[in-house]
Structure 1
Amino acid sequence: MKITLKISFISSFLSILLLLPICLAAQIKQANLKKHIYYLASDKMKGRGTGSKEVNKAANYIEKHFKKYGLSPKGEKRYRQTFTAKVRRVTVSDSIRQADNVVGFLDNDAPYTIIIGAHYDHLGTGHQGSSRDSLGVGQIHNGADDNASGVAGLLELARHFATNKEKEAYNMLFIGFGAEELGLVGSRYFTDNPTIPLENIQWMLNMDMIGRYNPDNGLAIIGYGTSSKFPSIFEGITSDIKFNLSRDGNGGSDQTSFYKKNIPVLFFHTGGHDDYHRPGDDPDKIDYSSLESILKLEIDVLNNSMKQGKMDFQWTN
């Protein structure tokens, strides 16, 4: 009896050890989040304005990591979906600019797919419009929170689900959207020219400005009312940060393009701040610990959503 118990204990212990690398591979890593944000929001990237060589470097960076994580290309030309965007808020000589969505696919041989997205463009030096600092036009708007934080989240979620050694019940399509700051142009282009059938999309998760968590306000999760399944998905979910659920599917970011196509959405957002659309939105002001917590919360939501059947859609207004 003692020998049997000892063998059973050893077997259980070895099983736990075998599982450890899987858990480690799936962890969200603050070091990765910092690396991504400090690269994308460095002065060398000159604010990642649409049409600039720097925003193309950002697209190359996203594509490089999609390849590294083994995501399949799902653009129109490999990972890229190219389109044109127009600067409308100000008059400039180069108002028509080329932009790209960067699209990577995690194929789990499932009939339906979850979209995970974040835009990677920002305001450049403010000359394309939208700067909230008239004296800052001509200065680099680094856009660490808006939206290097969301792109860092996009890349870490891609790494998590691509390396967790599990075959989920849904496929995942990871998209870095271009030209969001010019009016949600990239996400609208994708939903008008989808590279997978829209009817095969389960729901869409969008991250835009998730790096400046304020404990007094909490994290906003917008779109809770866009499917009758979301209450079940959030049942039992807890976090070490405060989060607030909002029903509306509309909003000033890329999930709106999917909502308008009758697709359930959730938009994760830590709210405005004094550096919003100003030159002071820098990497050292990001709350990396809370950003990690937000991504862990998103993983819980995603995992719970994959226990559901095909989700219905509801208009919220």
Structure 2
Amino acid sequence: MNRYFLLIFLLAVSVANAQPSEKKLKKHIHYLAADNMKGRQTGSKEVETAATYIERYFKKYGLTPKGTDGYRQPFEARVRRVVVADSIRKAANIIGFLDNGAAYTIVVGAHYDHIGYGDLGNSKDSLNIGKIHNGADDNASGVAGLLELAKHYAKNKIKERFNLLFIAFGAEELGLLGSKYFTEHPTVALNTIQWMLNMDMIGRYNPGNGVAVIGYGTSSCFPEIFKGITSDIKFYTGRDGNGGSDQTSFYKKNIPVLFFHTGGHPDYHKTGDDASKIDFKALKSILELEIRVIDRSMNVPKMDFIWTN
């Protein structure tokens, strides 16, 4: 093999390795939603372990730290649903930046905390409070997606037209606290954010319903971006930018958003939300759909914002 063909071969291998991988998705979700992670409750040593895991991959993929302390953006999270002794807990967003020298940035986010033993008033499993709620779908699935998208854009050998900011939000389950903190204390100027993509519960695809893409109405550019986009999974769009996840914090700052979500299920905030129930093939397809959307959005110089309420 001469040098030219060797370079072409190595480039092809590199690009192929940048694609979302079921194997990697399984690795991330099985790690984050294992019993020994004890449900990743805000303030626990296990959620700290999850944060370190995310940091390690951000560093591996060559992302620039964009927190206030390396990749970390520490903040204090208050427990409000129940009275507990440690009502104020340490939390952090984990933030990595892919700097393409562009004027504007696309934010990709997912929260990495869950509800631990369900003892802070947010369990739907009243008979099993005190038992581990692993949160494989909510939201190890979104974090796995976040890491695979970070890998894709860091390793695809393309200098994109926009920068990309990857954020793993802390304390979402206590009231979207991590994303609220970021939008009040941004580490990139909010007026330079083109739009925000959020992933929360993308692991339990239902072929009858499809994956919801919420926030489609928050910019007049989204219909054109989606025009002609196809997927091997069913998806449908919803207009509203508000909702029970972290895109809401950006929407309230007049930033266009999309929220990918495979919908509720009987294991939501219960002890049965385990890695064995994740549809990894569909999860990979959702990420491939998101890549198409992100790539198409690169052709829009500056997106407008529409308030949908």
TM-score strictly above 0.5? yes
Check the 8 A contact 1:49/1:128 in 2, yes or no: no
Partners in 1 of 2:77 and 2:3 — Cα distance? 59
Give 3-state SS (helix, strand or coil) of 1:289's partner: helix
Equivalent of residue 118 in structure 1, options 110, 114, 133:
110
Give 3-state SS (helix, strand or coil) of 1:205's partner: strand
Structure 2: state its 5+ residue gaps: none
Which residue of structure 2 aligns with residue 64 of structure 1? 56
Which residue of structure 2 aligns with residue 221 of structure 1? 213
For residues 234-293 of structure 1, give each alpha carbon's deviation from its aligned partner in whole angstroms, at most 9, with x where no partner exists: 011000000010000000000000000000000000000000000110000000000000
Partners in 1 of 2:204 and 2:276 — Cα distance? 11
TM-score (norm 2): 0.97
Which residue of structure 2 aligns with residue 270 of structure 1? 262
Check the 8 A contact 2:15/2:155 in 1, yes or no: no
Equivalent of residue 303 in structure 2, options 304, 311, 314:
311
Q: CA deviation at 1:23?
A: 2.8
Check the 8 A contact 2:71/2:94 in 1, yes or no: yes
Check the 8 A contact 1:126/1:137 in 2, yes or no: yes
Which residue of structure 1 aligns with residue 155 of structure 2? 163
Partners in 2 of 1:18 and 1:149 — Cα distance? 30
Q: CA deviation at 1:15?
A: 8.3
Partners in 2 of 1:27 and 1:306 — Cα distance? 18
Q: CA deviation at 1:11?
A: 12
Equivalent of residue 225 in structure 2, options 222, 229, 233:
233
Give 3-state SS (helix, strand or coil) of 1:48's partner: coil
Partners in 1 of 2:120 and 2:170 — Cα distance? 14
Q: Percent identity?
A: 69
Which residue of structure 2 aligns with residue 292 of structure 1? 284
Equivalent of residue 257 in structure 1, options 217, 235, 249:
249
Sort the Cα spacing of 1:146 and 1:67 in 2 relative to 1 into closer, same or farther, 3 A. same
The structure that has the greater radius of gyration is 1
Q: CA deviation at 1:34?
A: 0.4
Partners in 2 of 1:267 and 1:13 — Cα distance? 42
Moved more, 13-22 or 202-211: 13-22
Give 3-state SS (helix, strand or coil) of 2:89's partner: strand
Q: CA deviation at 1:22?
A: 3.6
Q: When the two structures are aligned, how many residues end up with a matched partner?
A: 308
For residues 170-224 of structure 1, give each alpha carbon's deviation from its aligned partner in whole angstroms, at most 9, with x where no partner exists: 0000000000000000000000000000000000000000000001111000000
Which residue of structure 1 aligns with residue 25 of structure 2? 33
TM-score (norm 1): 0.95
Which residue of structure 1 aligns with residue 35 of structure 2? 43
Check the 8 A contact 2:225/2:296 in 1, yes or no: yes
RMSD of the TM alignment (CA)? 1.5
Which structure 1 residue ranges, 4+ long, deviate > 3 Å from structure 2?
10-19
Give 3-state SS (helix, strand or coil) of 1:314's partner: coil
Check the 8 A contact 1:123/1:129 in 2, yes or no: no
After TM superposition, the structure 1 = structure 2 runs for residues 147-158 of structure 1, keeping only pairs within 5 Å, are 147-158=139-150
